[in-house]
Amino acid sequence: MANLLDGKATAEKIQAELKATIQTLATKAGRPPGLAVLMVGDNPASEVYVRNKEKACTRVGIASFGQHLPTATTQTELAEKIRGLNQNSQVDGILLQLPLPNHLDAIALLHQLDPSKDVDGLHPVNLGHLVRGEPGLRSCTPAGVMRLLADYDIPVEGKDTVVVGASILVGKPMALMLLEAESTVSVAHIKTQNLAKLTREAEILVVAAGYPKLITQDMVKPGAVVIDVGINRITNYEGKSRIVGDVDFSAVEPIAQYITPVPGGIGPMTVAMLLQNTVWSYQQRI
């Protein structure tokens, strides 16, 4: 049976460390770090994520400047909110909760963020820093994967790593971070011809496709490290819903060396990295 990579426990440890750092710095700086999560509309999944992020902020001592705006908010109004937060000296991090309602252009709005407050690491300036291997705000989910591997002393250097999914939010920055850590990276996407052939080569397999049970036992090399980023809500015949990842956990766990659970794996690590990015931005500012 694989060893579980406990993202929840690791995230709690990181939060405790951040809390101690904030207690020390806030006295000197005269203010705590500040994070603004901007949410538009009533996407139920986003509401849960935003609530979790705000609760985590309270736990570690980060002030929340979040705003929940109605679905009808216009592009100009949202851009105006972002400008206000860019100028607010109490705010160190701004996160635009995605997805936005269809009438809003998320990419154009992400460009309006002050890159030094872009705690989700999605502004082209921060993605550029990542490509060049320079310090900067790193995308939270892939940063959470790297941190979890590091905390479990799992070597990445020289390994064959495979990322399934190539989104700008997870797959692409994940591949760049694995490359930065000197692994040999392959990236699969929807047009990949033989996904199973590729995933079977992976010593470290990171899956972020958004498709339940995409990765079955025969697609995993025995002894691999399997990181499941997927979060999918599925409903059974009785109408009960639960969250699952992209990996068929019960089939893959017996043959993997390490595996992340869903929930309790990369989800909590993503929140911990958001808090860490906010504190990093605060430290640059004070």
Q: Residue numbers of the site for ligand NAP (CB under 6 A)?
A: 141, 164-167, 169-171, 188-190, 192, 195, 208-211, 214, 229-232, 266-267, 270
Nearer Cβ to ligand NAP, position 50 or 169? 169
**Catalytic residue check, 120:** yes
Nearer Cβ to ligand NAP, position 9 or 20? 9
User: Can you tell me which residue has the tokens 């082209």?
Assistant: 124
Considering the complex, what minimum distance in angstroms separates the CB of residue 6 from ligand NAP? 14
Query: Residues 6, 15, 81, 97: which is the catalytic one?
Result: 97
Nearer Cβ to ligand NAP, position 52 or 88? 52
Nearer Cβ to ligand NAP, position 79 or 198? 198
Query: Residues 53, 159, 172, 221: which is the catalytic one?
Result: 53
**Catalytic residue check, 151:** no
Query: Residues 120, 228, 246, 248: which is the catalytic one?
Result: 120
**Catalytic residue check, 8:** no
Half-sphere exposure of 127 (CA within 13 A, CB side): 14
Residue 227 token pair:
């990181």
Nearer Cβ to ligand NAP, position 1 or 190? 190
Among 127, 121, 185, 119, which residue's Cα sits nearest to residue 156?
185
Indicate which residues carry an active-site annotation.
53, 97, 120
